[in-house]
Chain A
Amino acid sequence: MAITKKQSTALAKQVFEYAPAPEAVDHVKILPRYGLFIGGKMVAAHSKKRFPTINPATEKTLSEVVDADEVDVDRAVKAAGKAFESWARLPASRRARYLFRISRLLQERSRELAVVETMDGGKPIKESRDVDIPLSAAHFFYYGGWADKLEWAFPNRKPTPLGVAGQVIPWNFPLLMLAWKIAPALAAGNTVVLKPAETTPLSAMVFAEVCMQADLPPGVVNIVTGAGRTGSLVVSHPDVKKVAFTGSTEVGKLIQRAIAGTGKRLTLELGGKAANIVFEDAPLDQAVEGIVNGIYFNQGHVCCAGSRLLVQESIAEPLLEKLKRRLSTLRLGDPLDKNTDIGAINSRAQLEKIQGLVESGVEEGAELYQPECVIPERGFWFPPSLFTNVAQSYRIAREEIFGPVLSVLTFRTPNEAVEKANNTPYGLSAGVWTDKGSRILWMAERMRAGVVWANTFNRFDPTSPFGGYKESGFGREGGVHGLLPYVELN
């Protein structure tokens, strides 16, 4: 006999419920403690201070790393300086070969790296597996291709390497930021000392193994772990010729101040408060997916996140309804689960920062929407959130939250959209959603942002330069532009 409508609806709910699908971790070997990667091998540190790195989804300690001190940093910079003499003179095609080898090794170890990245940082495995690791490998592959073609990158100039590059990277895309920094530096003939973020040092430790596996000459890549103090030792070391930093605008300013007058080259990739602008002729369901990807990707721990949604007033109501519906289907939980959309917040400190800013939004009068979702007992979590009734002057519309929190504002005319979008101290990225090609170009011309995405968001490719305007920093990473900060043009 036929089943009733009620029965079939209930059955569907039961059948299509997502079952747990955790990625296996037994193939991953995380050591209980790590040394520093200096001069081509893992060495014991001078510093006796260590600190734990934890899994933010469980708060369990994964490993212990060194809080490198002055002596450690000096050793690393000296090792890089020594390696520079031969690395810079190596035939460029040989340098390329090492980069290609690293790229292949990252691909070979991609599953392991994805799990390490997810355990140490809290990001969903589907993101580390499908975005972070493949893009990291692609960056090495891409810059490997440039290594012996530098004269074509800068026609009629003679590009020469600078020396030792000191690089400090953030915790939101640990391995990818490492790749963005190391690949162009090595391709151009520099050697590096890199400091990973204190909450996410583990993928850099695996990368040290990759360097050894690739037989990279000793000292070409050196990795020192530690917190802010170690970072400042790296950038202010007198033998460091070039500083590259990705992180907060606050720290970026400190670095710029610290190295002023030293003649060191500097590139900074800092915060953002990107406008994602949806016009009334945009395909709304597609735009909703783009908005979700723009702000909830990696829990919003993305410097170019589309954290301000500017919607044309005529479609604000249906768009918000669709967006809220979509939010209710996002799955928050175990980052190692292949179905997870929203993973763990990277650290307790970051969680508190997000909570503080969200509270300020409520106090200032914005209306908060959060879908119902079960928050795990342990670990750091924040539900996907959305603010309406937001004024440009509210803190949630001006300050970088770096969490899964979207501020929704409206506009009536394209000019108003431009004015509101540019009315921020930042200028890293922007998004435009419209069916009309001419409007995309019109908007892109007027956006003061390093990247303008049209009908998409958070799309990355090694061939495309990335960087900011205003307080989002200067210098470009990726593409042929990404080589420029690492060469002297004679």
Chain B
Amino acid sequence: MAALRGSSVRIASVATAFPSGQSFTSIKVAETEEAVRAGAHEIDMVIDRGAFLSGDYQRVYDEIVAVKEACGEAHLKVILETGELGNYDAVRRASILSMAAGADFIKTSTGKVQPAATLPVALVMMEAIRDFVRETGRPVGFKAAGGIRTAKQAIAYLVITYETLGPEWMTPDRLRLGASTLLNDVLMQIDKERTGAYQSADYFTVD
């Protein structure tokens, strides 16, 4: 926190019993408030998949509304954990529901469940965003997380974002890619451009 003072780096924090989302709403709300108080600019929440898959959409919706309220000024990313939703219809329904409940971003995955982000799932979510914007005028961001390991894969996500949502989404406040593994590949590609040869993976630290 102290190290970042005065910089443009923003702080994001997970909350709401990440990654399972298996806890009481009151605890999730309290956790969110605590994270915001500790300085988080963005909160990543997970939806209650148990409730969603059993058809209790109201509960999922109410919980997002409550967490959004607890966020105050902080931005809310809602993680759908698409790898557990079972099909594209459910992904679309969860996307619309999250945006209607106030999500500033919808995000594919926690990264703890496989499969995480895939291109078809990303397309379904982006088309949902496009429809939501059309209906409400409120832009919502998209984040793909988990499974994007190489620069080449990342480019594929950039291309479908550009083609589906347009150039206005090609900015950090509307598009994010989960980058923990990706970062080293990007560094490797940069080094390749610089030296003309690929370096061993061991020259890039795994943190």
Measured CB to CB, the closest approach of chain A to B129, in angstroms, equals 12
Question: Min CB distance, A289 to chain B, in Å?
Answer: 11
How close is B122's CB to chain A, nearest CB, in angstroms? 13
CB contact list, B103-142 vs A, under 8 A:
127, 131, 134
With an 8 A cutoff between CB atoms, is A85 at the interface?
no
Known contacts A1-B8, A12-B162, A329-B163; A318 and B134 CB within 8 A of each other: yes
Once the chains bind, are B162 and A9 in contact (CB under 8 Å)?
no
Q: A1-B8, A285-B127, A321-B134 are in contact. Are A9 and B167 (CB under 8 A)?
A: yes
Cross-chain contact A5 with B171 (CB below 8 angstroms): yes
Choose from A8, A285, A329 the contact partner of B170 (Cβ within 8 Å).
A8
A374: interface (CB < 8 Å) = no
Shortest CB distance B45–A (Å): 25
* A interface residues, how many (CB within 8 angstroms): 14
Contacting residues, chain B, for A10 (C-beta < 8 A): 167
Least Cβ–Cβ distance between B177 and chain A, in angstroms: 14
Residues of A within 8 A of B131 (CB): 318
Q: A8-B170, A9-B168 are in contact. Are A2 and B163 (CB under 8 A)?
A: no
Q: Tell me, in angstroms, the Cα distance from A12 to B131 when the chains sit together.
A: 22
Q: Does A13 sit within 8 A of B, measured CB to CB?
A: yes
Find chain B residues with CB under 8 A from A8 CB: 170-172
Is B127 a contact of A12 with CB atoms below 8 Å? no
B170: A residues at CB distance < 8 A:
8-9, 11-12, 16
> Which residue among A5, A10, A318 has the maximum number of chain B CB atoms within 10 Å of its CB?
A5
- Which of B127, B167, B173: most chain A Cβ within 10 A? B167
CB distance from B109 to the nearest CB of A (A): 22
B171 contacts across to A, CB distance below 8 A:
5, 8-9, 12
Using a CB–CB cutoff of 8 Å, the interface residues on chain A facing chain B are 1-2, 5, 8-13, 16, 285, 318, 321, 329
Instruction: Give B contacts to A, CB under 8 Å.
Output: 8, 127, 131, 134, 158-159, 162-163, 167-168, 170-173
Of the A-B pairs whose beta carbons lie under 8 Å apart in the complex, a sample of 25, sorted by A's number, is A1-B8, A2-B8, A2-B172, A5-B173, A8-B170, A8-B171, A8-B172, A9-B167, A9-B168, A9-B170, A9-B171, A10-B167, A11-B170, A12-B162, A12-B167, A12-B170, A12-B171, A13-B167, A16-B158, A16-B162, A16-B167, A16-B170, A318-B134, A321-B134, A329-B163
The 5 A-B pairs of least Cβ separation, nearest first, read A12-B170, A8-B171, A12-B167, A16-B162, A9-B167
